Amino acid sequence: MLGLAATGCASNDLTRLGMPEPITEQAERVISLWQGSWVAAFAVGILVWGLFIWTILFHRKRSEQLPPQVRYNMPIEALYTVLPIVVISVLFFFTARDQAYLLDTEEPADVHVEVVAFQWAWQFNYMDDTKENGGEVLFSEVGIPNPDGTANRDTQTTLTLPEGAVVHFDLHSPDVIHSFWIPAFGFKMDVVPGRDNAFQANLNEGTAGDYVGRCAELCGVDHTRMLFNVEVLPQDEYDAWAAEQEADAEEAAAAAEDTGPDTDLAEGTGADGTDAEGTGAEATESEENDE
Ligand SMILES: [Cu+2]
């Protein structure tokens, strides 16, 4: 406890008490709550261990005479009740305060991502606004489930984010309950079918790098395959990447529209039934286009 108190809020491997290095403002808050809870737990622990040791050392059985009894001692009974209530109240206060902060989505976000968790991969839809405000999909990163039983992160999809940005996440699931977890965010949130869960993360400056993400809810037999990568880029690199993705998505959409009329034409020719050979050839061509 002394070590913790002496280092204050400094964040290093020892004082983080097992938590990963935080990359968001929210994660820093989570670590403070985590550290504070440990300080409180150690304080209670030291008191209890101290009482144990004191009792063992100084109140051993020395004779057959019954020691003084303290049953129905009102001050001690009151202390037993009041002290835990004080401890719980303090923990509750800080937990409620930090939960309100972590679930706050009021700040205007720079990047909007709709996370779709499905058995057994992830899809990230980059939106121009939140789902709530009727945001439209700009482009998507679609994960393909690894083959049966394999949990290989390298073949999984990557969530790309800019450093220093406020990111809004909308979480959706088409099948069962999953949980969206980026350990470096110090935070996870369930992805529940039919429910609009959302949270925001304020990424810190200087956090560019590769991180991991995974599903944290046992969602079925191949839960372990639900991995994804997180790449935080400097703002300018992210902007270039996003512009490229958006252009690719527009190109793909335009290409899909181009094949549309061809299909209609082929069907029309078939209905006429005037040129059997031609119809066959055109129909085949249109099927190829569809593929
Ligand atoms: Cu899952």
Handedness of CA 186, 98, 167, 191 (dihedral sign): positive
Share of the chain above pLDDT 90, in %: 63
213 and 252 assigned to the same domain: no
Comparing 1-5, 44-48, 109-113, the range with the smallest average pLDDT is: 1-5
Query: Is it the case that residue 77 has pLDDT exceeding 80?
Result: yes
162 and 258 assigned to the same domain: no
Rounded to 5 degrees, φ, ψ at 82 are -70, -40
Distance between CA atoms of residues 111 and 127, nearest Å: 8
125 and 193 assigned to the same domain: yes
Task: Please state the pTM of the whole predicted model.
Answer: 0.78
146 and 161 assigned to the same domain: yes
Token pair belonging to 94:
């800080």
Comparing 40-49, 56-65, 67-76, 280-289, the range with the smallest average pLDDT is: 280-289
Query: Is it the case that residue 180 has pLDDT exceeding 80?
Result: yes
Q: Cβ(25)–Cβ(107) under 8 Å?
A: no
Residue 169 — left, alpha, or beta (φ > 0 → left; ψ -120 to 50 → alpha)?
Answer: beta
Domain CATH code at residue 190: 2.60.40.420
Q: How many domains does the chain have?
A: 3
Ligand 1 centroid, distance to 203 Cα (angstroms): 24
> What pLDDT does residue 81 have?
93
The residue ranking higher by pLDDT, 182 or 64, is 182
Comparing 1-5, 25-29, 279-283, the range with the smallest average pLDDT is: 279-283
Burial of 185 (0-12, 13-18, 19+ CB in 10 A): buried
Ligand 1 centroid, distance to 50 Cα (angstroms): 45
In whole numbers, what is the pLDDT of the chain averaged over residues? 85
156 and 51 assigned to the same domain: no
Query: Is it the case that residue 60 has pLDDT exceeding 90?
Result: no
10 and 42 assigned to the same domain: yes
Domain assignment of residue 266, given as a range: 240-290
Query: Which residues crowd ion ligand 1, with CB under 5 Å?
Result: 178, 215, 219, 226
Q: What is the pLDDT of residues 200-256, one digit of tens each?
A: 999 999 999 999 999 999 999 999 989 999 999 999 999 999 999 999 999 998 988
118 and 219 assigned to the same domain: yes
Q: What is the identity of the amino acid at 147?
A: P
Ligand 1 centroid, distance to 125 Cα (angstroms): 17
> What pLDDT does residue 1 have?
53
Ligand 1 centroid, distance to 178 Cα (angstroms): 4
The residue ranking higher by pLDDT, 262 or 273, is 262
Ligand 1 centroid, distance to 100 Cα (angstroms): 26
Ligand 1 centroid, distance to 115 Cα (angstroms): 12
268 and 168 assigned to the same domain: no
Burial of 254 (0-12, 13-18, 19+ CB in 10 A): exposed
Ligand 1 centroid, distance to 248 Cα (angstroms): 29
